[in-house]
Amino acid sequence: MTDLIHTTAVELTELLRIGAVTPLDCLNALEKRIAAVNTPVNALVTLCFERARDHAKRLMELPLHERGRLAGLPVPIKDLCDVAGVRSTQGSLIFKDNVASESDLMVKHLEGEGGIVYAMSNTPEFGAGAHTFNEVFGVTRNPWDTRLSASGSSGGAAVALATGMAWVAHGSDLGGSLRNPASFCGVTGMRPSPGRVAASVFSKIDGTLGVEGPMARNVADLALLFDAMVGAEQGDPLSLPREDVSYLAATQSGWKPKRVAVSRNLGISPVDPEIADLVLVAARKLEAEGVIVEEVHPDLSEAMSCFQTLRAIGYATGMRQLLLDHRDKLKPEVIWNIEKGLKLSAEDIAKAEAQRGALFRRMHAFLETYDLLLCPSTIVPP
């Protein structure tokens, strides 16, 4: 069944739904593929095939039409989310021997839709950083050139997809962590709007900066996974009900935008000239399809300072005790963020929240005129 590796997730799910392929067939193909290619790239750091096969067998006892949207499609989980009975480290020496007793809400939801967890993908310590490495598992390497970075923080997921060790993958995104590694590795990643994918609330309820999301080898496969991830869960007060739409169907609808804004740098960051030029190449392709394209962007000048303040609040809220108990096991970037959050004044926080509100209103007004904002997903090549 090694040919399954090269099948798209959409095609494979159809085979699973009609019983032409079983979830066990998929797991067997993955196990062989991982044994053959994982070591040089270090993408999948914890395997749980025994658990996966137990889940597959239980799922196969159900009628085909009751096996959920994924129908037994295997999915790796980023090692920031707990999976019951599986080593879940968050890329930290503090949790290097931690075995989760309960799964994250997102994992429970995904498994309820017929997703089968078989591996944990590598991440920087606590997801902090745009390069995937940690003291527990080491470096995840770019699949196209192992001398280069796979980016982060969902680097393990992106590399697993690019090397055929996954058809779809879970990732998460606070400041580019779904999008940057997808760009570096030649796959697709999407940061959903807050609330679309339910997740467990561990500390700060207003966790609107960080979101869980889908990654895949192509857009249709990504939409398939997103269809399975969305929906409300009682344990997440910000989660939104599933809309009466199919994202997979939307990819096949033929819709195209009428007016697109394009920006090479959003007015806030230097961008490698090669990447900036590629953005314009994409814009010209849209123009050739009859789309009106204008080089313009909203005012984002306050976005970085606002983001850094709100991010620091999240670190301080969720990780203050870890700083007190395990400072020697935290990397400098994590310590810096926690300490920044602890030093913030009420005025600092109020200013950042006001900036976020103003930014939302500006973006909302901007998107009344433009259907899309086309911009780089990363500022540098690998």
Catalytically annotated residues: 78, 153, 177
* Close Cβ partners of 252 (under 8 Å, ≥ 6 residues apart): 220
Other C-beta atoms closer than 10 Å to the C-beta of 108 total: 17
Residue 374 · residue 282 · CB < 8 Å: yes
Beta strands per DSSP E along 268-366: 292-295
In single-letter form, the type of residue at position 222 comes to L
Token code pair at residue 141: 């390497």
* Alpha-carbon gap, residue 150 to 76, rounded angstroms: 17
Residue 24 · residue 1 · CB < 8 Å: no
Number of helical (H) and strand (E) elements in the chain, helices listed first: 12, 11
Beta strands per DSSP E along the chain: 44-47, 74-78, 116-121, 133-134, 138-139, 168-173, 188-189, 211-216, 259-262, 292-295, 372-374
Residue 5's alpha-carbon distances to 52, 151, 258, in angstroms, are 17, 24, 37
Residue 172's alpha-carbon distances to 127, 188, 197, 231, in angstroms, are 9, 13, 10, 16
Radius of gyration of the chain (CA): 21
Q: 283-288: long-range contacts (C-beta < 8 A, 24 or more apart)?
A: 283/374, 286/257, 286/260, 286/374
* Alpha-carbon gap, residue 202 to 318, rounded angstroms: 7
